[in-house]
Structure 1
Amino acid sequence: MTPYGSFTFFFILVVLLAPTVILGLLGKRFHTYNMFVSIIALGIIFASSLNQAIALIIFTFWQVVLIKAYIAYRKKSNRNTIFYTAVILSILPLVVSKLLPYFSDVNLIGFLGISYLTFKGTQLIMETRDGLIKKDLPLSRLLYFILFFPTISSGPIDRYRRFNKDLEVGISGEQYKLLLYEGINKIFRGFLYKYIIGYSINHFFITNLRFIAHSHFQHHLYYMYAYSLYLFFDFAGYSAFAIGVSYMMGIKSPENFNKPFLSRNMKDFWNRWHMSLSFWFRDYVYMRFVFWMTKKKWIKNRNLLSNLGYLLLFLLMGVWHGLEVQYIIYGIYHALLMMAYNSFERFNKKHKWWPQNKLTHIVAIIITFHVVCFGFYIFSGQLFHKGV
């Protein structure tokens, strides 16, 4: 069963989370019960695919053993080779599951949410290396963090220390009432975004473009803007569901979107769009690459180093979506945009060519919106489909 994909799923959630709500309103602790709820929910989600269920179990065992082993090792030593090996082994199932469909019709490794679970596991190894996680993690909490069902399929990607803090902080009945209100509000926003606005854009406009557009150019232009809006409302709606259910369970999962179409530039956009993913790639790919290159003194030019970091980051982000040409070009496109804005920012800082006022703010939003929409048009693959 697809998470948040049917009203049946929401009905099951209401039944499963009723005790959580009652305990929360009474000021009682409910995390132990919620761990049980996660197991039941995962069983329901993966009930239709035994192969995926088995892959999830094996993957979880693999990640837990790696994390536990590396934490134990890190207390005694800190060799680079062991760290790199642990990271590679952590992401290996994801890499294999992404590549396997190009060579075989059967993918026994992949399962719903493998990317986001991998990000969590790899993050724990990296934070252990950095000294942010110094003690062994209780197995129950580690499993709960990795397998937290509201965000399993498409995020948001949480950080263990933030997640664990929510588990340790006691919540009074009044505090939970506010959390419950916010959670329900986010769930209703999810219905508005995904099942009303997103559905309407796709069903009434995109699917009828052949009757609406009067030329080949119009078809592509209308599709570009419609698809961009649909992508936002559909994904933001899903994220609202995941975050809302998390709130009901006492976990404040991070926000994923913050009015991205009001961004003033590309840096601002990536601080607003799919934030948990973009921040993950920023912290664990871009920042580490820049730090490593600076430490080794292999590239001394800061601007060149920053641009190479953007190229690596967005290429990886594009390839993560798939090896199809549209995803690779989408990654390169955004890397070039970030490089261009990097150069513009340095030039403007020196020459004050672009003034800061309300008019330029509005113009910047309009320009960024169109540039972003073209990126989503590339991402959609329509640009490479003949005869559309």
Structure 2
Amino acid sequence: MINLQPYENPGYFILLMVALLPAIIIRLYGHRSHWYETVVSFIFLFLMFDGKDWHQGVALIGYTILQYAVISLYTRYRTKEKSPNKFGPFCWAVILSIAPLVVVKFTPLFNNGQSSIIGFLGISYLTFKSVGMIMETRDGAIKEFHPVKFLQFLLFMPTISSGPIDRYRRFEKDYDRTLTSEQYTDLLGKGIERLFLGFAYKFIIGYFFGTMWLPQVQRMAMQSRGGFLDLSWPLVGVMYCYSAYLFFDFAGYSLFAMGISNVMGVETPRNFNYPWISRNIKDFWNRWHMTLSFWFRDYIYMRFVFFIMKHRLIKNRVTIANLGYLLLFLIMGIWHGETWYYIVYGIFHATVMILTDAWLRFKKKHKDWFPSNAFTRVMAILMTANTVCFSFLIFSGFLDRLWFH
């Protein structure tokens, strides 16, 4: 029997492409096929939560009803109240929107590791979409609530389980446009190319790093943990092997989501932009899991900085930025999980961001001291890549197994 969890095996793609074939034909003739694509999406969502995962499907329905109510009521408040910028209703809307995710994330901590009954695959990405809509509604960027478009955006099947995290206004504009036959043919070609590249990333390269090599180097590291010198090289192997696996597996998922979105006529934003050529950690976060990092930047970091500066709580801008980094990456670490290594991972990246900012300020002040050439650029790339790989070793949780189990 074919596993119908998104993008887990080639059989899933065969079924999905066969189901989408009528939509492809309709679009090749220059017409829209939203009604059919919506039906296919809901069928595959149903199959995704079928069988033993039926309770996740029920949780998704309840979650969708909650987000629908929160966002529709907040939009109505914004458009009808004479003073719609009050902070209280906005805070309550955000709290109610993120409440299910907070419960899901922290339930294992207080329930002997047991998962919450209201959890389901993709709850984080749907929450980011919902909170983003509330933020943009407060800003006045979203002025109306369209029930059907909201459901199409929130439950857009290709991105529901693994992202990328789209923005409502971009999705609405993209989803509503009618492509010509030539435009759709080009987009379909991009989608198929991304699907094949995703297969290479996840099912070939990711398989070698994650399934064939990673367990071997982990076993070597566990056997060598009696002495520091004996452990060092196997641990370096784990660091590089896990980092490669994480990239190719996650980038493969993102390419699948983009590819299927393209087949359905939507240009979902990319998630990775050659992150391994980053010259510093700031550059890295502008290239790695871009939709997530930009979401955290826009809706947490920038709003924190604006709030502090508006109320003049802290005068020094460098201090404000540094506190913003700590808040941003601490939340990002906790979002991944409540265990110590996720939190340390977040603090590590915040620390490196703060040091990078300090270095860039110093370098700008003394630009004549530091040459810019091919050698310095390569060294910057290598230092950044190794710093990131070390952070991924922390993120992997392997050090927890190595030291405490």
TM over 0.5: yes
Instruction: State whether structure 2 residue 176 is matched by structure 1 residue 168.
Output: yes
Give the counterpart of 1:146 among 138, 150, 154: 154
Deviations 1:351-381 (A, max 9, x none): 1133322211111001001100000001011
Tell me which amino acid in the other structure corresponds to 1:165.
K
Deviations 1:236-278 (A, max 9, x none): 0010000000000011111000111110000100000000000
Alignment of structure 1 residues 225-240 onto 2, 5 Å: 225-240=240-255
Aligned to 2:11: 8
Distance (whole Å) between structure 1 residues aligned to residue 275 and residue 64 of structure 2: 33
Distance (whole Å) between structure 2 residues aligned to residue 160 and residue 23 of structure 1: 25
Deviations 1:218-245 (A, max 9, x none): 1111000110011000000010000000
Displacement of 1:2 = 1.6
Distance 1:227 1:47, change over 3 A: same
Displacement of 1:118 = 0.4
- More displaced 10-residue stretch of structure 1: 206-215 or 275-284: 206-215
Aligned to 2:227: none
- More displaced 10-residue stretch of structure 1: 78-87 or 29-38: 29-38
Give the counterpart of 2:97 among 83, 90, 93: 90
Displacement of 1:6 = 1.6
Deviations 1:94-116 (A, max 9, x none): 00011112222252111000000
Q: What secondary structure is seen at the aligned counterpart in 2 of 1:82?
A: helix
Tell me which amino acid in the other structure corresponds to 1:339.
I
Displacement of 1:7 = 2.1
Tell me which amino acid in the other structure corresponds to 1:355.
P
Give the counterpart of 1:217 among 210, 214, 232: 232
Distance (whole Å) between structure 1 residues aligned to residue 247 and residue 270 of structure 2: 14
Tell me which amino acid in the other structure corresponds to 2:117.
L
> Aligned pairs, how many?
387
Unaligned stretches of 5+ residues in structure 1: none
Tell me which amino acid in the other structure corresponds to 1:27.
G
Instruction: State whether structure 2 residue 86 is matched by structure 1 residue 79.
Output: yes
Tell me which amino acid in the other structure corresponds to 2:316.
N
Tell me which amino acid in the other structure corresponds to 2:395.
F
Q: What is the TM-score when the length of structure 1 is the normalising length? A: 0.97
Displacement of 1:156 = 0.2
Q: What is the TM-score when the length of structure 2 is the normalising length? A: 0.93
Instruction: State whether structure 2 residue 69 is matched by structure 1 residue 65.
Output: yes
Contact 2:104 2:115 in 1 (8 A): no
Instruction: State whether structure 2 residue 311 is matched by structure 1 residue 296.
Output: yes
Contact 2:218 2:235 in 1 (8 A): no
Aligned to 2:208: 200
Contact 2:218 2:238 in 1 (8 A): no
Instruction: State whether structure 2 residue 36 is matched by structure 1 residue 28.
Output: no
Contact 2:103 2:116 in 1 (8 A): no
Aligned to 2:326: 311
Distance (whole Å) between structure 1 residues aligned to residue 207 and residue 165 of structure 2: 25
Distance 1:210 1:123, change over 3 A: closer
Aligned to 2:131: 122
Distance (whole Å) between structure 2 residues aligned to residue 234 and residue 175 of structure 1: 30
Displacement of 1:143 = 0.2
Tell me which amino acid in the other structure corresponds to 2:384.
T
Instruction: State whether structure 2 residue 336 is matched by structure 1 residue 321.
Output: yes
Q: What secondary structure is seen at the aligned counterpart in 1 of 2:402?
A: coil
Distance (whole Å) between structure 2 residues aligned to residue 10 and residue 253 of structure 1: 18
RMSD: 1.3
Displacement of 1:384 = 2.4
Deviations 1:73-95 (A, max 9, x none): 01122210110111111100000
Distance 1:81 1:175, change over 3 A: same
Displacement of 1:8 = 2.3
Aligned to 2:193: 185
Instruction: State whether structure 2 residue 134 is matched by structure 1 residue 134.
Output: no
